[in-house]
Amino acid sequence: MSDFLIGFGFFLIIEGLVYALAPLVLVELAKRLPYVPEDQLRLAGLVSVAAGVGLVWLVRG
């Protein structure tokens, strides 16, 4: 459980940095997001999940 909370903490740190350091980039991304096809968004999400699992496996293994 502590690993999960540490991971969630890092997620919040990264999210906060994006909002604090590049808010205009985030606004532009949000404006363009509705025009990205759903399949492309789903593929990007799956690739991100696979990369995250692989990274955790490498670090913890």
CA dist., res. 23 & res. 60, Å (int):
33
Residue-wise pLDDT for 11-46, tens only, equals 999 999 999 999 999 999 999 999 999 999 999 999
The whole-angstrom separation of Cα 44 and Cα 51 is 10
What are the residues whose beta carbons fall under 8 Å from the beta carbon of 41, sequence distance 6 or more? Answer: 33
Q: Has residue 56 got a pLDDT over 90?
A: no
pTM of the predicted protein model: 0.71
Task: Provide the residue range defining the domain that includes 52.
Answer: 2-60
Q: What is the number of domains present in the chain?
A: 1
CA atoms of 46 and 6, how far apart (whole Å): 22
pLDDT band at 3 (very low <50, low <70, confident <90, very high): confident
